[in-house]
Structure 1
Amino acid sequence: MAQLESGDVTFSQGTRMLFYLMTPNETSFSDVDSVPRYVQKATPFFIGLVLLEVFVSWLKTGELLVKINDGTTSLSAGMISRLPHVFVRSLEVSSYIYVWNNYHILELPWDSAWTWWLAFLGVDFGYYWVHRCCHELNILWAAHQVHHSSEYYNLTTALRQSVTQQCASWVFYLPMALVVPPSVFAVHIQFNLLYQFWIHTEIIRDLGPLEWILNTPSHHRVHHGRNLYCIDRNYGGTLIIWDRLFGTFTPEGDKVVYGLTRPINTFDILSVQFHYYSYLWEQFLKADGIGHKLSIIFKGPSWAPGKPRLGDHAEVPIVTGEEVPHNPYWSLRLQVYVHIQFLLVLGVYNDLFATQYPLSQMTILLITGYILLTLTSLGYIIEQRPNAAVWEALRCLIMMALYRFGYVGPVVSQLALRPIMADRISLCVCVCIYVVCELAPGSTTQHSDV
């Protein structure tokens, strides 16, 4: 069997895995540890397709499809969502392995094409119900709303993922662990996610007969809309047949307006990830009686006393189609600075996952902390908060101090090089940023409640 070694992904395979076009023969493995980290290895292909989308859209419209503020926020969310995997295996795979090791009742052959296709259907079916529950249970929506928070629809939006969603999604795949080996599941849980990257685009309008079977850009545009006809529709991952079977399918019709029904209007990455939890807690405290309190958590995001389980969608804010995405003015100097700093921290992020050095837990914590601090600081700069320059200067000084006193040691000098380069550049221009941030009119971005 022409298997792929865990460290290798060819250009052909890297391209095909984004479209679920890998064959059972090249993606069947005897054990989980042999399964490549396809999602991590897809990073160069993500970047390539994003650049291609920007170029094609520029040729067609003469405008840049991706805004630096929104695109950076989406990419930052994607980076944060993957950071826990530096420390532990994904909860979906870990829980699956536990059930398989202790409770499986049948062991399907890992090298059988029938097992591969059964896992394909099982993972996609499980994803449909994960996704649907994330929209219909408020506590799960608190995690999933991250993915819907962008008011743009492009390939960077696909990477705007939640760091907490996998804390619940693992449950939906456990029945498969009774019969399907973990190595097969570990392949498909990645491919199902990778397939959903390319459907986040407005460039592709219609795929003809494939629209009946596959989840396509047209179907998924509906899912990301806040128009009345779009809400809680088209949950499929790779296939759209589950929506057709369970009555949640809606074809694309009127112009889709993207984002949350109540836009959050922020580029602060921590607010994007966690703001809904604080809102949910406030609603829980305000609710009268244990019944209403539990309903706040386990019914739909639009639920209110006296309303149906999923709320009354007719009461959501009216969408006219003339809405303008939140895109406040910020100077070209800041845009260039944020762009450079983000590319530098993206290099650190990729090195952290790709390194073959035996990194200590302290080193990993320091580098992870640097990434989080950088992404947070860049969000503050984008919003031109009054304290943005202070945070940026503090970020620079902390990392230089860590390097100077040996907390980032010689073992990881390659990893340390890029953040140190970033910080030296930062120090050279932080005074300029301080002046710009302090003088910018209306420097504090207004936040909505939800």
Structure 2
Amino acid sequence: MAAAAGSGSVSRGLRAMFFMLTPNESSFEKVEEVPQYVQQAMPYFVGLMLLEMVVGALMTGSPVVTLSDGLTSLSAGMISRLPLLVMRSCELSAYLYVWDHFHLLELPWDSAWTWWLTFLGVDLCYYWVHRFAHEVAILWAAHQVHHSSEYYNLTTALRQSLTQQFTSWIFYLPMALAVPPSVFAVHIQLNLLYQFWIHTEVIRDLGPLEWIFNTPKHHRVHHGRNLYCIDKNYGGILIIWDRLFGTFAAESDKVVYGLVFPINTFEILYVQLHYYVYLWKRSRTYKTVSDKVSTFIKGPSWKPGKRRLGDHVDNPKVTGNEKPHGPKWSLTFQIYVGLHFLLVLWTYHELFESKTVLSQLTIFGMTSYVLLTLTSLGFIIEQRPSSAFLETIRCVVMVMLMRYSYLRSPLPLLSVPTEAFVSLSLLYWALQSFSQLLSIKKKDD
């Protein structure tokens, strides 16, 4: 019986990735009963990413993902979920508030009709969340994170924004007037999970399904910075919304991925926040209050005298021969960054899976450590001069956390090797920092 239950759990988990759960097995009376589908999907994310790497290498003879870009995407995904350690998602929290105070009718939570209506409602709301995120500059400041990769693979799906959830909740509130929160809580997760597998170049065409569903072929267009790709194909699960509202574009020319103006960096906090700084600086160049405000609420391409969404006359021309930005760094540093990323990924996993109630201070300290690590590894990838000092500080923090049992090795057998590796890392970067300080002193003398 236990084996059968385990097999059923695996089947449900895999089917959840493709929105293939039935209403009977994914309907719950209370929000507290709804599974954490996204958190439970982590093994499937890893498995599908590994499968894509193998299939992609066999098909093209070259890797589908680079270490620098892939780790940046995974880091963004990790950062985007850190707020969930101390709060419910903004979408669900706001939804519960409106439901508790303002709902007009209560559709039955165990009805298949309610389930399918919510499926359509969440997907339609997502279309408008997504479209506004491209058409309103302050919303684009959050969403641009997802488009910042110049590659298109399953790791790109996890390149999510830390701040987008703080505004997306607005678009789902009309549903809270009638749809029970438990039904909404299921669909908001399944809608997100479906969008994982469409971030790939391995799947080329799905025939008649392309007319109804959002597929890798349609979503590749959405991630392009070619002129024919910009602001097209916003759908989540269904592509019919784009066909209805005039935002559909078929894949034709070769798609060049990434932002219109590539940021060319792997520093994770810059990836997350740089566009807010850019908007603020741009708004200060305008004299009138109207133009200053318009900088934030009109399209990213808007300028005074232009229409609301602006135009693309200033965009760089895309030839199709552009090569993605990437660092030239040694295999030794690639192994080093990869190993330390796996260690912080384990820490991140333990934070979410902890069976004990963690204090707010502990959560704050551990999330700060995660952010410090992801930032420092980005500095190493870019080979910044300050990376030695930052990594020295991080290794000191890591040694202290291990000393007081806040950090543990993934396996007991690896405890001693892990501690030795961390100690050697600290020694290396301390020597590098000391060497740099001597060089600076000699220059000053």
**TM-score normalized by structure 1?**
0.91
Aligned to 1:353: 352
1:364-419 deviations in Å (ceiling 9; x for gaps): 11211111111111101101111112111111112323454x5x66xx87899899
Aligned to 1:427: 423
**CA–CA distance in structure 2, aligned partners of residues 435 and 213 of structure 1:** 59
1:128-156 deviations in Å (ceiling 9; x for gaps): 00000000000000000000000000000
Aligned to 1:255: 254
- Please state whether the residue corresponding to 1:314 is helix, strand or coil: coil
1:154-201 deviations in Å (ceiling 9; x for gaps): 000000000000111000000000000000000000011000000000
- State, as a whole percentage, how many aligned pairs show the same letter: 62
**TM-score normalized by structure 2?**
0.92
Aligned to 1:211: 210
**CA–CA distance in structure 1, aligned partners of residues 393 and 408 of structure 2:** 22
1:83-107 deviations in Å (ceiling 9; x for gaps): 0001100010000000000000100
Bigger shift: residues 427-436 or 371-380: 427-436
Aligned to 2:68: 69
Structure 1 position 113 matched with structure 2 position 112: yes
Aligned to 1:448: none
Q: CA deviation at 1:287?
A: 1.3
Matched letter for residue 337 of structure 2: V
The change in CA–CA distance for 1:434 and 1:401 in structure 2 (over 3 A counts) is closer
Matched letter for residue 301 of structure 1: P
Structure 1 position 304 matched with structure 2 position 303: yes
The alignment of Structure 1 onto Structure 2 pairs a total of residues equal to 431
Contact 1:154 1:202 in 2 (8 A): yes
Paired residues for 1:50-129 under 5 Å: 50-129=49-128
Matched letter for residue 260 of structure 1: L
**CA–CA distance in structure 1, aligned partners of residues 130 and 433 of structure 2:** 40
Matched letter for residue 348 of structure 1: T
Contact 2:389 2:433 in 1 (8 A): no
The change in CA–CA distance for 1:282 and 1:9 in structure 2 (over 3 A counts) is farther
Which consecutive unaligned segments of at least 5 residues does structure 1 have? 441-450
The change in CA–CA distance for 1:271 and 1:422 in structure 2 (over 3 A counts) is farther
**CA–CA distance in structure 2, aligned partners of residues 435 and 216 of structure 1:** 51
Aligned to 1:132: 131
Aligned to 1:331: 330
Aligned to 1:37: 36
Q: CA deviation at 1:307?
A: 1.1
- Please state whether the residue corresponding to 1:190 is helix, strand or coil: helix
The change in CA–CA distance for 1:173 and 1:318 in structure 2 (over 3 A counts) is same
The change in CA–CA distance for 1:64 and 1:150 in structure 2 (over 3 A counts) is same
Contact 1:158 1:197 in 2 (8 A): yes
Contact 2:337 2:377 in 1 (8 A): yes
Contact 1:352 1:415 in 2 (8 A): no
Aligned to 1:239: 238
Aligned to 2:223: 224
Q: CA deviation at 1:425?
A: 1.7
1:264-298 deviations in Å (ceiling 9; x for gaps): 00000000000101101101111120111111011
Q: Considering only aligned residues, what root-mean-square deviation do their CA atoms show, in Å?
A: 2.4
**CA–CA distance in structure 2, aligned partners of residues 75 and 364 of structure 1:** 20
| Stretches of 4+ aligned residues off by more than 6 angstroms | 412-421, 434-440
Aligned to 1:164: 163
Bigger shift: residues 78-87 or 306-315: 306-315
Matched letter for residue 13 of structure 1: R
Contact 1:228 1:314 in 2 (8 A): no
Contact 1:235 1:248 in 2 (8 A): yes
The change in CA–CA distance for 1:390 and 1:9 in structure 2 (over 3 A counts) is farther
Contact 1:149 1:272 in 2 (8 A): yes
Aligned to 1:398: 397
Which consecutive unaligned segments of at least 5 residues does structure 2 have? 437-445
Bigger shift: residues 364-373 or 32-41: 364-373
**CA–CA distance in structure 2, aligned partners of residues 184 and 373 of structure 1:** 37
The change in CA–CA distance for 1:345 and 1:402 in structure 2 (over 3 A counts) is closer
The change in CA–CA distance for 1:40 and 1:8 in structure 2 (over 3 A counts) is farther
**CA–CA distance in structure 2, aligned partners of residues 434 and 264 of structure 1:** 30
